[in-house]
Amino acid sequence: MRISDLQPRILRESFSHISVDELGIKELVDQADASLSDEAADAITSFVGVMPSAQKQGVWGGIMQSRRLEDAYSPNPSSAGQRIRASLEKSFAPIRAALRRKFGNTVRLYRAQGRVGNKPTSRHTLSWTSSPRIAAWFAGVDPREMGIKPISDASIQTALEQYRREGKVKWRGKTYVRTQTPTNDPTLDTYYYEIFDKDGDMITDGDDLEEQFREDQAWIAEVIQKRDSKLSKVITAEIPLDSIIWITDRAGQSEFILHNKPGRPGFVTSQGQLA
């Protein structure tokens, strides 16, 4: 299943986010962060790219390096990797128990996934998110695009009829007002119109309102087509709790770090395919 299969209303309004705050496990996550060994703490910070206090400091991004976690969850971890993994598993146990009480054995997660290329091996650790909006953002979709709907022919006709009756119509955040200046062209509207923004300031004028609305319709259709193409890159899976290494919302990303292991649900191949 892909995120583009879901209804926009669900993405925009109805999805129940599994964020740290809404789960009521923020305190557990903070305690887990504080209980990590220095090596494990460095591994998580390197992987996520920001410190635990990132939001308080207004830091929303940094350099992400997966090397330490990749080692820890590889088939043959180094001694340092083994220590990191042991510390993570011990500290994460209370969080996993809390999740299991709430969700059972799996949670639904999302990931923006493009082609990886011809790498010989798969990653051992990958970031997913509980928020389809965050996954869409990583796929290149501006959050404001999620609520965009097509402009129907019927809505254009209704707006044109109101303008012809009243000499004024509101359309997509702007107001179109008929002037008393004739266009003197039988192929255009009888009179020019002026366009005002939401604050009542004039933007420009025009002479063919239907053409104006049709241009808006075509532009919106193009935006939606591009948005949906990007959304097709987002994958989702029911992830076993035992695959979750860590959860963090340090940068507001509702990030679930997974052990990307062959044979488990949610495994992503080196070619970027959900196996």
What would the pLDDT profile of 142-164 be if each residue is shown by its tens digit?
A: 888 888 999 999 999 999 999 99
Sheet strand arrangement including 234-240: 234-240, 106-112, 125-129, 255-259, 244-248
Token readout for 143 is 């959050």
User: Parallel, antiparallel, or unpaired: how do β-strands 191-196 and 106-112 relate?
Assistant: unpaired
**Structural element, H or E, at residue 179:** strand 174-182
**Structural element, H or E, at residue 132:** helix 132-138
CA distance 143 to 188: 37
CA distance 81 to 43: 9
Confidence label for 16 from pLDDT (cuts 50, 70 and 90): very low
Produce one character per residue of 8-27: b if its CB has 16 or more CB atoms within 10 Å, e if not.
Answer: beebeeebeebbbeebebee
Confidence label for 218 from pLDDT (cuts 50, 70 and 90): very high
Token readout for 171 is 């359309």
CA distance 244 to 253: 16
Query: Does residue 51 surpass a pLDDT of 90?
Result: no
pLDDT of residue 8: 43
- One-letter amino acid identity for 74? S
Confidence label for 3 from pLDDT (cuts 50, 70 and 90): very low
No. of H helices and E strands in the chain?
10, 9
- Mean pLDDT for the chain overall: 87
Query: Does residue 271 surpass a pLDDT of 90?
Result: no
Q: Is the dihedral angle over the CA atoms 236, 242, 243, 245 positive or is it negative? A: positive
Token readout for 45 is 């910070």
pLDDT digits (tens, 9 = 90+) for 226-251: 999 999 999 999 999 999 999 988 87
The pLDDT of 36-47, averaged and rounded, is 95
pLDDT of residue 59: 62
pLDDT of residue 253: 80
CA distance 74 to 80: 12
Q: Of 4-8, 127-131, 214-218, 265-269, which one has max mean pLDDT?
A: 214-218
CA distance 241 to 238: 9
pLDDT of residue 58: 66
Neighbours of 243 (CB within 10 A): 22
CA neighbours closer than 13 Å in the CB half-sphere of residue 181: 8
Query: Does residue 2 surpass a pLDDT of 60?
Result: no
Query: Does residue 269 surpass a pLDDT of 80?
Result: yes
pLDDT digits (tens, 9 = 90+) for 155-196: 999 999 999 999 999 999 999 999 999 999 999 999 999 999
pLDDT of residue 201: 97
34, 90 Cβ separation under 8 angstroms: no
